[in-house]
A and B are shown apart, each in its own frame.
Chain A
Amino acid sequence: MNMPDFEYHAPETLQEACALLAELGRNATVLAGGTDVLHKMKTGKLASGHLVSLKRLGELRNIRSKSGHGIVIGALTRHNEIYNSPLLQELFLSLPMAAHTMASNQICNLGTLGGNIVNGVPSADLPPILIALKACIRLVSAQGERSMALEDFFCGAAQTRIVPGEILADTTIPEQSTTGSTYIKFGLRRSGALAVAGVAVSVTVDKNILREARIVLASSAPTVMRARNAEGFLRGKKISGKLLAEAGAMAAAESRPRDSIRGSAEYRRNLVEVLTKRALRKAIDKGHI
Chain B
Amino acid sequence: MSQVITDKNGVKRYLITINVNGDSHSLLVKGNAILTNVLRDDLNLTGTKKGCELGDCGSCTVLLDGKPVDSCMVLAVEADGREITTIEGVAANGQLDDIQQSMLNHAAVQCGYCTPGMVLSAKALLTRNPHPSEREVREAIAGNLCRCTGYVHIVEAVLAASRGEITPVDLKEGDSR
Contact = CB atoms under 8 A, between A and B. Distances in A.
Given A55-B78, A106-B61, A39 B55 contact: yes
A35 interface: yes
Interface in A73-120: 80, 103-107, 109-110
A110 B53 CA distance: 15
Contact of B75 (A4, A5, A34, A107): A34
A67 to B, nearest CB: 31
Given A53-B78, A192-B143, A106 B53 contact: no
B142 A42 contact: no
B126 interface: no
A38 B64 CA distance: 18
A10 interface: yes
B70 interface: yes
Contacts of B108: none
Contacts of B31: 5-8, 51
Contacts of B142: 104-105, 190-192
B32 A104 contact: no
Interface in B90-135: 121, 124
Interface residues of A, number: 31
Nearest to A5: B32
A105 B142 CA distance: 8
Nearest to B62: A106
A3 interface: yes
A5 B142 CA distance: 32
Interface in B20-34: 30-34
A7 B72 CA distance: 19
A150 to B, nearest CB: 25
A31 B32 CA distance: 12
A264 interface: no
B88 interface: no
B12 A106 contact: no
Interface in A1-54: 1, 3-10, 12, 31, 34-35, 38-39, 42-43, 51, 53
A106 B32 contact: no
B67 interface: yes
A3 B69 contact: no
A106 B61 CA distance: 7
A109 B68 CA distance: 7
B32 A6 contact: yes
Given A3-B32, A105-B139, A42 B75 contact: no
B62 to A, nearest CB: 9
B67 A34 contact: no
B84 to A, nearest CB: 13
Interface string B43-80: 00000000001110010010010011110111101100
Given A7-B31, A105-B121, 14 more contacts: A3-B32, A4-B32, A5-B32, A6-B31, A31-B75, A38-B34, A38-B75, A39-B54, A51-B31, A104-B58, A106-B121, A106-B143, A107-B73, A190-B142
- CB-based closest 4 A-B pairs: A104-B143, A8-B31, A191-B142, A1-B53
10 contacts: A1-B72, A8-B77, A10-B77, A35-B73, A38-B34, A38-B73, A43-B54, A105-B124, A107-B143, A191-B143
Interface of B: 1-2, 12, 14, 30-34, 53-55, 58, 61, 64, 67-70, 72-75, 77-78, 121, 124, 138-140, 142-143
